[in-house]
Structure 1
Amino acid sequence: MTSGTSLSAQTDAAAISSQRVAARARIEVEHRAGRSRLARLYQDGAAKIRLPDTGADPLEAVLINMAGGLTGGDRLGWEVSVGEGARAVITTQACEKVYRALAGRAEVDVRLSVGAGGFLGWLPQETIAYDRSAFSRTLDADLAAGAEALIVEATVFGRSAMGERVEGGTFRDRWRVRQGNRLIHAEDFFVGPDIEAMLARPASAGGRIAMATLLLVSERAEALLEPARQIIGDDGGASLWTVGGSGKLLARLYAEDGYTLRKRLVPLVELLNGQAGLPRLWSL
């Protein structure tokens, strides 16, 4: 009887281990023949990249996690390289869902690079964290002098419209952004294991469960500060610095749910993304 139980437990553990996601994809964009074009594309496992035929510049790419979500033990990596003078906007097919973790944590590794005179809009749709999920993301961006980038990450802790609550779990987000080999932005966000209690504190989120961080590195940043503040209103803020001869606009948004967050996030992304506007999938 004991032997049978042990064998069953081992079988269950092996099944869980064998089903973990280990996927990575890379896209390289170059400026050629008067417009931004695909130079190289690599896909492995559940990580896929699709290129809608927009017929316009910048090139638009859509990231897809074919696993349908993440849970403990999953590993997902995205790499984007934009060459000199090229322009690209990267988004996701849908919100990334992080489910309850039985063991370990889900890890996402993002690596971005932009050449001189290039532009990258890193605009994934929201990450939705479920109760008892465990998630860790690292984002490293390397911008050449004169390169521009808009980096956006939004997170929703549970879908309140579905009656979901996130009481516990862990969520980590680490950003390192460099321009001309100089560190211009670094932040580490962590909440857990008592997520609901931590977000309820006035000094953290005051009970709001949806939030977004937007970082624009561009010569356009100073002119966009006041329009951005008008969109953000009282639930968030925006600041501006001059770094390495370029502007850095950092904006935060907070909301009581994902729907309310998106009502301000969409026009803010549209403003900061310039002529590229909003990815088509964001408006569906």
Structure 2
Amino acid sequence: MDTIEYGGISTSRAQRAAGLARLACGKRAGRTHLRRLYQDGSAKIRMPAVATDPLEAVLINTAGGLTGGDRLAWEVDVGPGGSATITTQACEKIYRAASDRAEVRVKLTVGDHGSIAWLPQETIVFEQSAFARTLEVDLADGAEALVLEAAVFGRLAMGERTTRGSFHDRWRVRRQGALIHAEDFRIGPGIADALGRRAVAGGAVAMATILMVSPRAEALLQSVRGIIGDQGDASAWSVTTSGKLLARLYAGDGYQLRKRLVPLVELLNGRAGLPKLWSL
């Protein structure tokens, strides 16, 4: 069968959905402006009108969700001195997979003294779904990043519970080629059993990881811990020429998780605050 390639992901024409979108922006005349935009398949990018930095971009999967065999790739390049906030139009839904798994690949590149805030809305994981996501971040000298990923394993308010499936999240963050953060979160096939363990989530079904790479990271640690309360924790370190803050949160449902994520993003994203779609 003929194959096509999206951002390094090989996929056949018979698969349900495939898409690749690339955005490049940079600083010009005191503002961050779009330089290049490429879209193919089910991956689309739209940019709300903003009067000041950062440039804001909204990712849209026109397939309306992902299931086994679907492939998406997002690539964002922020030039030196530029700043961008990236979010999604809605929560991404990972549906039951009859075979294979859905895959998403994200690549973020930030030039000297630029900044990026990767703030997608939550990923909702349905029963017997299969999903793998790879996130790669390459930072130049003086570049900053705020990275968030949140997942909800079953919408309890709608009577949905995710008991079985496969979920894998892989992060690699580098500064000037040197690895400064790496993690792999993998759960399944017994998702509910694993989440029910006290050492894992104690029965919580919603969780989030936030990573901040910035000289401001350590100074914000106590404020971050105050927002999280007893629903997670945060730590801060010095990494190469910058600081790093890592926070993990969990909650009984997506609504309770969002109540903490909103003030956290407002705090960590500085003057940019929340993406416009988060406040709708």
Superposed counterparts of 1:10-29, under 5 Å: 18=14, 20-29=16-25
Identify unmatched segments of 5+ residues in structure 1.
Answer: 1-16
Query: Structure 1 residue 19: deviation in Å?
Result: 5.2
Paired residue secondary structure (1:18) = coil
Percent identity at matched positions?
68
Q: Where in structure 2 are the equivalents of 1:1-284 lying within 5 Å?
A: 18=14, 20-284=16-280
Q: Which amino acid aligns with 1:88?
A: A
Are the equivalent residues in 1 in contact too, given 2:15–2:69 (CA < 8 A)? no
Question: Offset of 1:18 from its aligned partner?
Answer: 3.1
So what's the TM-score if we normalise by structure 2?
0.95
Matched position secondary structure for 2:264: helix
**In structure 2, what is the Cα distance between the partners aligned to 1:245 and 1:225?**
18
User: Structure 1 length normalisation: TM-score?
Assistant: 0.93
Q: Distance in 2 between matches of 1:167 and 1:181?
A: 39
Q: Deviations over 1:104-154 (max 9, x none)?
A: 000000000101110000000000000000000000000011000000000
What is the distance in 2 between the residues matched to 1:133 and 1:191? 12
Quick one: which amino acid aligns to residue 72 of structure 1? G
| Structure with greater helix share of residues | 1
The structure whose Rg is larger is 1
For residue 258 of structure 2, give the secondary structure of its aligned residue in structure 1: helix
Matched residue count:
269
Q: Distance in 2 between matches of 1:245 and 1:238?
A: 20
Local SS of the residue matching 1:223: helix
Structure 2 residues without counterparts, runs of 5 or longer = 1-12
CA distance in 2, matches of 1:274, 1:34: 18
Question: What amino acid does structure 2 have at the position aligned with 1:137?
Answer: R
Partners of 1:237 and 1:178 in 2: CA distance = 23
Runs of 4+ in 1 over 4 A off after TM superposition: none
Structure 1 residues 81-122: Cα deviation after superposition (integer angstroms, max 9, x where no partner): 000000000000000000000110000000001011100000
Q: Which amino acid aligns with 1:63?
A: L
Q: CA-to-partner distance for each residue in 1:43-70, whole Å, 9 max, x for gaps?
A: 0001000010122210000000000000
Q: Which amino acid letter does the alignment assign opposite residue 138 of structure 1? A: T
**SS at 2:219 equivalent:** helix
Give the AA of the match of 2:264.
L
1:23 CA drift (Å): 0.6
Residue 7 of structure 2: aligned partner: none
RMSD: 1.0
Contact in 1 for aligned 2:23/2:75 (Cα 8 Å): yes
Secondary structure of 2:113's partner? coil
Measured in 2, the distance between the counterparts of 1:134 and 1:154 equals 16
